[in-house]
Amino acid sequence: MDQLTVLDLVDDDDGDVPVITQTKSKKKGKKTAQRGKGKQREDPVTPSASNSEKVAESIILDDDGDVTLIVGNLSTKIRVSSQVLRLASPVWKAMFSDRFAESQASEVEFPDDDEEALLVVLRVAHLHFLQLPPATPMPFHRLLDLAVICDKYDTVKIVRPFITAWSQNLEELSLQNGYEESLFIAWTFGYHSIYKSLASRLVLSAIIGPDGECLNSGGDFLGPTMPLNSIETILKVREDTISTLLNTCYKKFDATLATPHVCTVNQKHVEACHASIVGSLVRGFHQLGLFPDRPAASEISLNISELSASLINLPIYSCKTNTGSSYNYDYNTIRDHTACTKAAQLSDPIQDILKNIPSAALDSHKTHMDEQAKK
């Protein structure tokens, strides 16, 4: 991944204002958390007013700025330079060109954007580095809000010198329930290994809710901020894998039921031996909701990890027979038919399926993240 430094400044063709370059954007539909409004202030101070004291903020990033941004549901006012914005983001470059009304307006509304996340990007663009968050892991929801802004306005490039420090614990968080939106952060900043690992974990752990929604293993909604088509891909791989698991199990069951059984102990016990094996499969499948009806993969409520573990550990009971005299019962003549159950065991085929689950990180996903990582 190419790293830029604070000194990586560029000049735009339309002017001579220096700015660190980087880019990215926000996911449509992302809910904006309300922030407390502060009193009128210059740039750096974070407001701490109570709800009853909230007033619209006014932040000045450029004393000579020619446009004021009205941001978020708190209508925070931020005075900026439109020339700096054009240099920082191709989206803003187009927005503040002569083709759009924003280029002539003294105030421009950004009602759907998170105020604090947008302010971080604007501070970087205006070279207000001392007012940036510290070079330590950023709270997860802040990092997610920042990823949304960077994706929406293609500003990954200008935050690249700082994002490594702010996201240094992302890989660890992505392993935990409740942090599935790490997928969007990884997508935005080009962290392909984190994306691939998390997508694979979700394939194994995701369950389907009563309304068809994708939930984590704890039954919680994955969150509204996800890369385009990522959840659809994860659910497709999940359903295909469960379908393969079910087909394998039913083929094994049908073969065990229909194929003439061979008792490895003594063929005179073949009926009891066969009945014990078939009965074990019927009992186990019934407990999992797989018998007598044979549900489709989309109807399975268990996640892949739970389903596969249950099938691998499904007990196949063997009968025990006495090869001695029926009148003189001797424990030394008891024969265990465990070897007869081998053909009905599900462990090996299930484990083979798990080893060959397709990745939910498609080539198109990797291409996108490789491009992001270069910014």
Write the DSSP string, 103-151: GG-SEEEETTS-HHHHHHHHHHHTT-GGGSPPSSPPPHHHHHHHHHHHH
Is the per-residue pLDDT at 41 higher than 60? no
Numbered ranges of CATH 3.30.710.10 in the chain: 1-168
CA quadruple 156, 6, 117, 1: dihedral positive or negative?
Answer: positive
What is the tens place of the pLDDT at every residue in 153-174? Answer: 999 999 999 999 999 999 999 9
Structure tokens at 218: 């704890």
Tell me phi and psi for residue 100, to 5 degrees.
Answer: -120, 155
Cα 239–chain centre separation? 17
pLDDT on residue 2: 42
Residue 368: Cβ within 10 Å count: 18
- Alpha helices (runs of H) in the chain, residue ranges in sequence order: 82-88, 90-95, 115-125, 140-153, 156-166, 170-173, 182-189, 192-205, 230-258, 270-287, 304-312, 347-355, 363-373
Q: What is the CATH number of domain 1-168?
A: 3.30.710.10
What is the tens place of the pLDDT at every residue in 223-271? Answer: 899 999 999 999 999 999 999 999 999 999 999 998 888 887 777 778 8
Q: Is 72 left (phi over 0), alpha (psi -120 to 50) or beta?
A: left
- What is the value of pTM for the model shown? 0.78
Residue 20 confidence class, pLDDT cut points 50, 70, 90: very low
CB 206 within 8 A of CB 303: yes
